[in-house]
Structure formats: structure tokens, C-alpha cells
Chain A
Amino acid sequence: MIASISWKNIWRNRLRSGVIIAAITIGMFAGVFTATFYKGWIKQRLDAGVETEVSHIQIHNREFGENYELKSFIPESAKLEADLAKEDFIDGVSARMVVQGMIASTETGTGVRLLGVDPEKEKTVINLYKKVADGQFFDGVKRNPILIGKKLAEKLKVKVHSKLVVTLQDSQGHLTNEAFRVCGIYSVGNGMFEEMNVFVLKTDLVRFVQMDEATSHEMVVHLKNHDLLKENGEYLARKYDQLLVQNWQQLTPELGILNEYGNIYIYFFIGIILLSLGFGIVNTMLMAVMERVKEIGMLMAVGMSKFRVFWMLMLETVLLTLTGGVFGILLGLLVTAATSKKGIDLSFYAKGLEDMGYSSHVYPTIEINMVVVIVILVLVTGLIASIYPARKALKYKPAEAIRIDM
């Protein structure tokens, strides 16, 4: 019955309660939609970063470093590749040759990272083959096919079947160049990656730099269970301690930070919204309590315990907060559901976003545990906001309160 009284008391002043509920609804809608937008954005970036760009784990010679020394290849890489393929937690391994060079079209030239790959093995570690926007993934060109990024194609002003000249230093230290033909143009929504990375057949590249066919600088590993990244990575690092074993969080620290602190940022943002709304809730409840001095005095006079009076007012506050909170959360989820399939086009910011590696088309994403945490935060806000008004009510003396003329 106390709950029924609390719920009905909310609607005694419909305008006042309506205003505060509307404020909470709008605040929660903003918070939830921002959270799902941000989550979708992060997830896309992570998915792109992990599944399309770096995969789960990469292994290098410890001396390979940032200079991409041709001589710093992985010793016995063929054996390593075979051993890795036997591990039951790994579902894809691809050995790459990595060489820095220059690429030029008839219009212009730029520095790039050439990745010599086996196309079929490459498909087991990254999903770049699904991101070919024009042309094909190493089909359609018989000799020296090259796969380049969309941003690079725009810069070089080339298209599929265009000819490009690659210049690099071979294993003998000589500058050499070779012509390649564009077999495909990929688009991953990461301008930096698209400009820097070009893919060629490993067999072509080893011939180009005059090295052994089995030479590899980079072993890319895809795990069956992404959740065991840390454990599997540590296992491989211990097993191959003479090599540098890194997971995607270590290869791309900015992605690791995004993942780790993304949720904290979202909850902090929502916490600030709720804190500011909390003051409004306290104010509303204080007005309600002060209007009902006589009634509260009567309730205590006829024998309603202080605990029950406190409970009644606390419930009233919590129900008020939850009503607005639930409406706002539902509205946020509805808008998220409506925008999650087609996405939100931020192309007016596109150049800046894509240059930083973020997609200009965002697909908001709902996570159930995030919704649960937000509901709990709303509940906690209601509970905390109820304390001061309820304590104020308990200070009323029944004998005085029932005789107040309102």
C-alpha cells in the first residue's frame, strides 16, 4: 500500500512531476544514445583495426623495429608458420614479407609499406578481401598484381588496371624498381592505413628484393577466441621468447585505450547527466514534502513509523526518477535501433575522421550490460536524491505539523 501511495503522490501535481520526468527522459535519452553511438563508433574502429588491419597477434624479429630492416627477418619462418598452424587456439596464420618503398603513378608518388602475402592464407587472418571496393583481391591481373587503398588511389589518381611503379632497396642494397598493375582498390574507412599499406604477392616481392622465397618479416595470427587474447599471447611470447610477440593492443595502443576506457568514459558522461538531474529531483521532492507538512504530521500522529514515512518518500523519489529514466532509456534504444542498420552519416566531418582511422558512417550499438548499468545508475540517483527531502520530513513534529495552516 505504501508503494501505491508513493506512486499516486507523484501525480498529485502532474505539471511539476511531468516537467521533471521530461527532463530526466531527455537527459537519459541523450546519455543512452551518446553511449550507443560512441560504443558503435569504438566497435567499428576496433573491428576495423583488429579484423581488417592488424589481426590478433603479430610476431616479428626483435630487431625488425620501426625501420623495417630487410635483413631483420624471422629465422626459420616456414617452420614457425607450420608450428603455429598446429596450435588448437589459432585458426589462421599468414607469413608476410614487409618492405618499405616508394610508389608512383604518372601523377605523383609517395612512400608506402609493401606487404608480400599469400592471398589464401591472408584471408584467414584479416578480412581485407571483403573490403575490396573496386576490382578483385588478387584476381584479374596475371602479372605483378597490387592491391592498394582507396585513399592512395585517390592520391595517385589511379584506378583498377592502372600501372604503378614501385621503387625499393633490395637485399643487396641496390635501388630497384618494378611495375605493378592495380588488381583491386580496398576501402576500410581508415585513411592512414589506406595510404600506407599496399599488398602484393609474396612470390613477386621476394623475387623483387632477391631474397629466399620462405623469408618472412611478419607472422600474423588470428585466434579462435578473441576473449583469450591475453592468455594466448602470453603463451606464444613464452614459447617464442627469442621473437617479439605482440597483441593488437600492443601494436595499436590507441585502440587498446579506446577499448579499455570507452566504458568508463560513457558511464562518467551519464553520471554527470544524472548528477545535474539529481538536483532537480531533490528540488521537486522538497517542494512536495513542504506542501504536505500537515499530511505527513497526520501520518505520524495516527501511527505511521518514521521508517515507513522515510520509505514512502524514498519510493516516491525513486519511482519519479525511474519513470523518466526508463522512458529516456527506451527512447534512446529505439532511436539506436532505428539508426543501427543504416547508420549515421557523418561525412561532413569525413575527411578529418577517416584520416584518423575512424569511419564517417557510424552504426550505434546496444550492449545489454551497458543498459543494465545505466538503469542501476538511475536507481542510485533516485535513492540518493530521496535522502535529504525524506530526512527533512522526519524532522516534523506531529503535534505542530497537523496544526499548520497551509
Chain B
Amino acid sequence: MNVIEVKQLEKVYNDSEVKVHALNGVDLTIEEGEFTAIVGPSGSGKTTFLNMLGGLDQPTSGYISIGGTEISQLSSSQLIDFRLNNIGFVFQAYNLIPVLTAKENVEFIMHLQNQPKAERENRTMALLKAVGLEGRENSRPNKLSGGQQQRVAVARALASKPKFVLADEPTANLDSKSTENLLEIMEDLNKKENITFVFSTHDQRVVNKARRVLTLEDGKIISDVRK
């Protein structure tokens, strides 16, 4: 089943006097269970493409479908709701809520979905266990290492049972050991739970782990390699 379908995606920025074609007709499908890395130099349109996939921005033209729902015509408030229930985010800078514990950060997403308390608690503990943070659930982010915080972020991304997880440079702020740990966890989740992961990365270690690598340049996909 196709989790992500993109057809002739274009994005033009008219902020200044010069028009910037950030995306120039991108076509792509990503199936369930894929472990895909998107690479490209600065200015390739990677960030813009990720914003489109994550429902954080609307294309100038073209078609994006996530889990069978076309999102290109949704309003901003509809997109917020769509993101909550369909897309999990892992950010480069973790972006955990600093005043909440690890457990509360994961539970927060399910609270937004109005999940019952028992369901929230059970799933939270299961996710934290899956990312190897059992016993650290009551620690706030400032008491966790970078790698641990990113694992909490992965658990949070999975809390809403999304169609796919969008990870934007998830290893950029981690040391090599933490990077290795994180990638193992994500690969494990991908294989065992069939969770779809889409990474944007400059990290070769991530590229090495990915089973599909898409290369973006000048707003187009110039290479699509499956391993």
C-alpha cells in the first residue's frame, strides 16, 4: 500500500522580486514499511519537500496524498488535525516540551487525540520500553542525554499511530554512539512493526542504514536507489 504519493509537485516562492522554484515537478511514491532517506545539498529543495510531506506547507501545484488522503487542498486547521493523526515528527533539535517528563511528552500527543487515560498510559510505557527508556519515564529532558531525548522524540512520534514518521536530520546533534543506538531502534521498529520512516539527512550512517535513498537537486529527484 502507498503511504505517500506525490505527483508533479511544485513550490514557487514569491517573497522577493525573483521567483524561486524550490520544487520543480517531483513525483514519488513511498510504500508502507519503507526506510527511506532523502539527501541533497543545501538549496536542493529538501527542506521544502519535507515541509510538503509533513503537511507543514502547501504546494503551488501538484498532488500529495498521505494514506490515501489528498492533503494539498486542506486548510491550515485541517492540516493541523491531519498531522496529529497521521504523521509522526522527529526533529533535529529533539523539541521536547521541557516542563514535561519523558512519559508526559509521549502522552501529550495522545492527550491531543483525546485518547482515554488508561490507553495513553499503557501505550506510553510500551513505547518508552521499545526505545529503551524504561525506568527514565519520570525524567525531564534536561536530565536526559541527547540520545535519550531523541529516543523520547521517536516514542512521541509513534504515539499517535501515524501513517509514517518524518525524521528531519534526527542524528545531527548526536554523538556516534547515540546515533548508532537511535538508528538501531528505528530500524528495529521498522522491521518488527512495519513502521514507515522517511529521513532527511546529511549523515552517511543514516544513508547506510536506509534501504532506499532519494537524492534531490534543484527541486527534482535525480536519483532513487533501492538497496
Contacts and interface: CB of A to CB of B under 8 A. Distances in A.
B112 A5 contact: no
Contact of B56 (A12, A305, A399): A399
Q: How large is the interface on B (under 10, 10 to 19, 20 to 34, 35 or more residues)?
A: 20 to 34
A303 B109 contact: yes
Contacts of B93: 294
B104 A1 contact: yes
B180 interface: no
Given A294-B93, A399-B56, A303 B85 contact: yes
A300 interface: yes
Interface stretch (B64-72, B94-102, B189-197): B94-102
B5 interface: no
Contacts of A308: 112
A395 to B, nearest CB: 12
B80 A300 contact: yes
A303 B100 contact: no
B57 A302 contact: no
Given A308-B112, A398-B56, A5 B97 contact: yes
A9 B98 CA distance: 9
A6 to B, nearest CB: 9
Interface in B58-109: 77, 80-81, 83-85, 89, 91, 93, 95, 97-100, 104, 107-109
Contacts of A299: 97
Nearest to B168: A402
B100 A402 contact: no
Contacts of A402: 91, 95
- Residue among B54, B80, B93, B108 with max Cβ neighbours from chain A (10 Å): B80
B95 A294 contact: yes
A305 B79 CA distance: 10
A43 interface: no
A301 interface: yes
B85 A305 contact: no
A232 B90 CA distance: 76
Contacts of A300: 80
A301 B104 contact: no
Interface in A304-339: 304-306, 308
- Residue among B47, B51, B81, B156 with max Cβ neighbours from chain A (10 Å): B51
- Residue among A11, A302, A306, A403 with max Cβ neighbours from chain B (10 Å): A302
B112 A303 contact: yes
B84 A5 contact: no
Contacts of B91: 298, 402
B77 A305 contact: yes
A12 B95 contact: no
A69 interface: no
B156 to A, nearest CB: 8
A302 B97 CA distance: 12
Interface in A376-405: 397-399, 402-403
Contacts of B201: none
Given A303-B83, A399-B56, A1 B111 contact: yes
Given A12-B98, A295-B95, A399-B57, A306 B111 contact: no
Given A8-B99, A302-B84, A303-B81, 5 more contacts: A11-B99, A302-B112, A302-B156, A304-B84, A305-B77
Interface of A: 1, 5, 8-9, 11-12, 294-295, 298-306, 308, 397-399, 402-403
Interface of B: 47, 51, 54, 56-57, 77, 80-81, 83-85, 89, 91, 93, 95, 97-100, 104, 107-109, 111-112, 156, 160
